Amino acid sequence: MTAAVNDHNISELTAFSRQLTAPQGFGDASLIAAAPGAIRLLGGIPAPEALPVEDIGRATAELWQDRDAAVASLQYSQTHGFVALRNWIAQREGVDPRRIVMTNGGMHGLSLAVLTVVERGAAVAVEDPVFPLFLRALEVSTTQTLPVPVLADGFDVDYLAGRLAAGERIAAAYIVPDFHNPTQVTLSADKRQALIGLAERYGFYVIVDNPYRELRFAGEEQGVAVFNQSDRAIHVNTFTKTLGPGWRLGWLVLPDHLVDPVIRLRNRGDSHSPTVTQTIVERLVTGDGQWFDRVLAHANALYRERAGVLIDALHEQLPGAFETQAPEGGLFLWPRLTDDNIDPDALYQRALAKGVAYQQGAFFAASPQRESARYLRFAFGDRTPDELREAVHRLALAF
Amino acid sequence: MTAAVNDHNISELTAFSRQLTAPQGFGDASLIAAAPGAIRLLGGIPAPEALPVEDIGRATAELWQDRDAAVASLQYSQTHGFVALRNWIAQREGVDPRRIVMTNGGMHGLSLAVLTVVERGAAVAVEDPVFPLFLRALEVSTTQTLPVPVLADGFDVDYLAGRLAAGERIAAAYIVPDFHNPTQVTLSADKRQALIGLAERYGFYVIVDNPYRELRFAGEEQGVAVFNQSDRAIHVNTFTKTLGPGWRLGWLVLPDHLVDPVIRLRNRGDSHSPTVTQTIVERLVTGDGQWFDRVLAHANALYRERAGVLIDALHEQLPGAFETQAPEGGLFLWPRLTDDNIDPDALYQRALAKGVAYQQGAFFAASPQRESARYLRFAFGDRTPDELREAVHRLALAF
């Protein structure tokens, strides 16, 4: 024998693969096994009632009745993505359609962005608290983060500017500018401009993750043109929160110089998003120019009501227990426990025992500081008003 | 200013991204712009007539009429893939369902396999000639290859054994065992066993790419149990050639110890294959236990006829021009020019001018040797018998 058989152990994996921590499900705690009958306030999941099932059924039926179109939907298509779909997105984003690259949803867009602009071992500025699945996507390149506090008007750009002025260097900054997950705050227009200014000055990229942007039911938009007009921003979006996560269909708005590199990378993965799903979604959004906005209006009315019901129930059933900021959009509430003597872990266990499951704030911490642990994240999107009232009733029992 | 603005140049890309060569379309020359009216014998594309469009339409209509099921198909699902779909695949593969991980098609499976077991810069043995898109998928880890000749009974295992005995080391060997692309040969059962024996002895992985396996219309299966029973094989398959590329749905049969690493990796990409497409395909294949085999029988009768028409036309219209081996399955013919005085590049240009497009053999070369350039690859799957006869007529004009 010229060589011995290697053991089948972890050392045979690539360095790339070894550095990935074990997942705990798509959304980690989102997929915890809550007791039967528990009310789940867990994930950023669209309301079933907000999904345009009848319209999708109609568009799909039309597709399969047109044999040529049906066959085309079963064949290969281009990595860049469907042209009419990209044109429609480009018009809404205010950019040249060439700069739109279709993805398999927001996480996929984050992953492509990270692999393209974050060198192995480089540092990335992240919000604290942070959407924790971004940290997981980041692992394909690095685990080095620079946590930046989230203030009432979003990411603390001045804090980052100070760290950069002191000599720290980052490959990218990651932000969720609209209805930040989990805090729900929106980054102000001034700070958007200031952050892009820093990126241009110091030569890093801003990875702008914006899945909730279209779910606004109050307040004023702070604008995305500043991102879409910069060579320093990668703007990540998706149909996940509007037409449903099950499509796995999203898009990147890329600076012109990153279009080809991202397509090259995508070309080594699954080559292109499914022709079937792109065909159906393209038919839906381009068939009637007002359709998508009607879907949004219907959904946002629903989410406005649900957010209100949840806040009212907390005020009525648990007066004074939380500091609560009414969200202007999105799918989450992020209340802070007012009584510092309450142990959030014990409260969580009691709540589970009473039949209500939510995300603990500590899950979103990007640094060892314990402030996030004083918060709870309630996802209200896919719960009816009655379920939300009952959930708060159960939470009150846990107090 | 504490730092100057960096130029927006390629040096800002990650090393990972920089090493990827420019794509020329999904299938490179498959997407060349042939003249209008040209007959395209280019890609491994299923016949439109072989795709079960009516059945898909029916299953889809049933889904959208069942609101609960429809809503579920629009929501998140697990990275591992749909349970009933994996069970159905596992039964056909003869393995535990845990070892099946759903992918977005064969290329995606290859990419996941490479990132999981091929360290950066490591060498990988590849068939020569080779499916060139594998070399592209391989670029995510390495460009170092050890080309291994393909003989009449497939991959030259003795040649590889000699190189290994002489001290060369590889992280993986890549093979297409059934109806190899482009040569169409099938790897013999004895050589399958011998290759796995080498892999176990020297501690490398065999990446078994098998998209054409189900498209057999003659000859004897050489078996895949030897792969599925080995801890050293990653068996890559897909619904692309049977239910259509547009689904972007495939699967890996993994050794038990690679299941979690691959799921961890996939979890950083697009999280899971679309719930919508998995729902529809699961309903199709599990609803009627005989359905998928009926689809295959219909398709294979069509491909048998088309292969026969193409070979007969070559014999009739271009007698003696080619050495031709009748394929036992798959979608390609790989004839060799008998006259060494013919310039294959000039012939290709004349053929294009006459209105027939095929792949030149040189496209598949894995080494500088020029033998592959003496071959032509004709894809007959998606061309009707009349088109095939006309294509050969045009080719004869080009001679």
Q: Model confidence over A335-378: pLDDT tens digits? A: 999 999 999 999 999 999 999 999 999 999 999 878 999 999 99
pLDDT tens digits for range B115-154:
999 999 999 999 999 999 999 999 999 999 999 999 999 9
Say whether residue A33 is in contact with chain B using an 8 A CB cutoff. Answer: no
pLDDT at A23: 62
Put simply, the answer to whether A274 touches B247 (Cβ < 8 Å) is yes
List the strands of the sheet with B172-175, edge to edge: B100-103, B250-253, B233-238, B205-209, B172-175, B123-128, B144-151, B154-155
Say whether residue B383 is in contact with chain A using an 8 A CB cutoff. Answer: no
pLDDT tens digits for range B248-271:
999 999 999 999 999 999 988 899
Contacts of A274 in chain B (CB under 8 A): 104, 246-249, 274, 277
Q: Which domains does chain B have, with CATH numbers?
A: 11-51+293-398 (3.90.1150.10), 76-288 (3.40.640.10)
pLDDT at A209: 98
Helix A344-354 vs helix A385-398: crossing angle, to nearest 10: 120
Put simply, the answer to whether A76 touches B43 (Cβ < 8 Å) is yes
Interface subset of B 284-303, CB within 8 angstroms of A:
none
| Cα nearest neighbour of B239 on chain A | A74
Interface subset of A 149-168, CB within 8 angstroms of B:
164-165, 167
In whole angstroms, how far apart are CA B254 and each of B90, B192, B210, B231? 11, 17, 14, 8
pLDDT tens digits for range B354-383:
999 999 999 999 998 789 999 999 999 999
pLDDT at B14: 85
**Number of inter-chain CB pairs under 8 A, A vs B:** 286
**Per-residue tokens: B344:** 């294959």
What phi-psi label fits residue B45: left (phi over 0), alpha (psi between -120 and 50 degrees) or beta? beta
pLDDT at A32: 58
**Per-residue tokens: A284:** 């839906």
Put simply, the answer to whether B201 touches A274 (Cβ < 8 Å) is no
- Per-residue burial over B76-86, b if 16 or more Cβ lie within 10 Å, else e, is bbebbbbeebb
Q: How far apart are CA B135 and CA B124, in angstroms?
A: 10
Put simply, the answer to whether B269 touches A118 (Cβ < 8 Å) is no
Name the pLDDT band for B1 (thresholds 50, 70, 90).
very low
Contacts of B20 in chain A (CB under 8 A): 261, 264-265, 267-268
Put simply, the answer to whether B247 touches A13 (Cβ < 8 Å) is no
Enter the ipTM: 0.94
Q: How far apart are CA A107 and CA A323, in angstroms?
A: 31
> For B268, which of A139, A167, A231 is closest by C-beta distance?
A139
The answer to whether the beta carbons of residues B174 and B109 sit under 8 Å apart is no
Q: How far apart are CA B241 and CA B50, in angstroms?
A: 10
Name the pLDDT band for B74 (thresholds 50, 70, 90).
very high
Calculated CA dihedral for residues A203, A204, A210, A216, nearest 10 degrees: -50
Name the pLDDT band for B53 (thresholds 50, 70, 90).
very high
Q: Does the pLDDT value for residue B3 go beyond 70?
A: no
Cα dihedral B74, B78, B79, B85 sign: negative
Which parts of chain A register pLDDT below 70?
1-11, 23-35
Beta-bridge partners for A40? A357
The percent of residues in chain B predicted with pLDDT above 90, rounded, is 87
Q: How far is A44 from chain B (nearest CA, A)?
A: 10
Q: What is the mean pLDDT of chain B?
A: 93
Put simply, the answer to whether B57 touches A61 (Cβ < 8 Å) is yes
Q: How far apart are CA A33 and CA B98, in angstroms?
A: 20
pLDDT at B132: 92
In whole angstroms, how far apart are CA A399 and each of A337, A351, A390, B126? 11, 8, 14, 64
Say whether residue B260 is in contact with chain A using an 8 A CB cutoff. Answer: yes
Put simply, the answer to whether A140 touches B107 (Cβ < 8 Å) is no
User: What integer is the mean pLDDT of B272-282?
Assistant: 97
pLDDT at B129: 97
Interface subset of B 342-361, CB within 8 angstroms of A:
none
pLDDT at B2: 35
pLDDT at B23: 62
Q: How far is B231 from chain A (nearest CA, A)?
A: 8
Name the residue with higher pLDDT: A370 or B113.
Answer: B113
The answer to whether the beta carbons of residues A154 and A184 sit under 8 Å apart is no
Contacts of B107 in chain A (CB under 8 A): 268-271
**Per-residue tokens: A269:** 């993965």
The answer to whether the beta carbons of residues A260 and A233 sit under 8 Å apart is no
pLDDT at B349: 93
> For A115, which of B16, B169, B270 is closest by C-beta distance?
B16
Say whether residue B33 is in contact with chain A using an 8 A CB cutoff. Answer: no
User: What integer is the mean pLDDT of B316-345?
Assistant: 96
Other Cβ atoms within 10 Å of B66 Cβ, number: 13
Q: Identify the residue among B13, B24, B131, B268 best suited for mutation to test binding to A, counting A beta carbons within 10 A and taking the highest.
A: B268
Query: Reduced to 3 states, what is the DSSP secondary structure of residue A98?
Result: helix
